[in-house]
Homo-oligomer: A and B are copies of this chain.
Amino acid sequence: MHFMQSLQQAWADHDSLVCVGLDPEPAKFPAHFKGRADAVFEFCRDIVDATADLVCTYKPQIAHFAALRAEDALERLIAHIHEKHPGVPVILDAKRGDIGSTAQHYVSEAFDRFKADAVTLNPYMGRDSAQPFLDRADKGVILLCRTSNPGGADFQALDCGGEPLYVRVAETIARNWNTHGNCALVTGATWPEELGKVRSVVGDVPLLVPGIGAQGGDVEAVLKHGRTANGTGLMISSSRAILYAGNGEDFAQAARKAAIELRDAINACR
């Protein structure tokens, strides 16, 4: 199924805008994972199995696996989600971006090797760097727009002919790059008014919103500025606050409880 259809189905079936970020950090795992050879896979799998009915997407962040030489665990984790929870699409959070001939190899990495349903990309190198991804019409292409980190303003907020760069990026992608209807944008929860500005220029294009929780973003403001007319349009991402909600034997149930709380806090504002 196309990513955009899967996403809409998951929004409806699970009544949830929550995206759980899978950012494994072995030092934060519960003690009983210590010494287990396949701890990275097993920890993430247990989180997934405890939360799959509560989320609209999973978002494994590839650097967390690459730094540990754990690409194999990432492949198996995504295969596990597809097999056990086929209603939940997987976003590979990789923020890639390179010239066309190299972009094709990144396409292979994300979609053929890891079998992700969508990938995050950096738009700085322009359209031809994204084109091989955009051409995979069944896959989601989620481009950085206004990011949630403090340095997000360094270049994204520069005035480009009366509009900040991130608005020019949003307009260009929504108007010119989205011919297959498979684009989405990353807009951080820490800048809700700027998120609203993006929403106002991109119509119903989905927004992936990191920055809730650990980074301090406000759920109510994100919903107010970012939701579409039918109360969806958002993938609100939380990683650490869910993954590491508990650190005992019951860590997966603690993660489930945190995911329910976030889902309900979001739904109260929809």
Chain A: residues with CB nearer than 8 A to chain B? 23, 61, 63-64, 66-67, 69, 71, 95-100, 102-103, 105-106, 108-109, 112-113, 122-131, 144, 147-156, 158-161, 165, 168-169, 172, 210
Contacts and interface: CB of A to CB of B under 8 A. Distances in A.
A260 to B, nearest CB: 25
Nearest to A126: B151
- Per DSSP, chain A at the interface is helix
A155 B151 contact: no
Contacts of A154: 123, 126-127, 172
- How many chain copies does the complex carry? 2
Contacts of A165: 155, 158, 160, 165
Contacts of A159: 160-161
Contact of A64 (B102, B112, B160, B169): B102
Contacts of A63: 96, 98, 102-103, 105-106, 108-109
A95 B122 contact: yes
